[in-house]
Amino acid sequence: MLGLYVTEYRSLLYKRSGKLDTRIIVLIFTASFLTIAMFLSVSFTYAMAGQRGLNIGLAQTVWGTTPFFGAVLDKILHNVIVPKTQVLGMFLMVVCVSLISFQHLIFGH
């Protein structure tokens, strides 16, 4: 949404008056803040898992399920049709991350 809004206008200035468009500045800072918050939350999760002696794969499993639940919420809230290929991809991603995180149980190492 932000990218479409910014590229549609392609300027931080209003075309007619030449004044600064504060809406774009606010959108850019909001998107930047959310991106930094997501990165820090993932990093914090891995750091806490390492400090507590937990398998980092468990944290990856939690983060690996995020797109799946996001798609489910998108379907419930916005009635978006998720293509079967994306559902298959999300399912395989969750399965693979789970297998990696539980490899010591599977292979006995």
What is the model's pLDDT at position 33?
Answer: 94
Q: CB–CB of 97/103 below 8 Å?
A: no
Residues 2-48 have pLDDT tens digits of 454 455 555 666 666 667 777 878 888 898 998 899 889 888 888 88
Instruction: Give the residue from 57, 45, 49, 46 showing the smallest Cα distance to 97.
Output: 57
Asked if residue 64 lies in contact with residue 93, where contact means CB atoms within 8 angstroms, the answer is yes
> Is-above-0.95 flag for pTM?
no
Contact status, residue 71 vs residue 79, Cβ threshold 8 Å: no
Q: Which domain holds residue 16?
A: 1-53
* Both structure tokens of 72: 């489910």
42 and 64 together in one domain: no
Tell whether 83 and 103 lie within a shared domain: yes
Same domain, 4 and 40: yes
Q: Are residues 2 and 47 in the same domain?
A: yes
Same domain flag for 67 and 105: yes
> Number of structural domains, the chain?
2
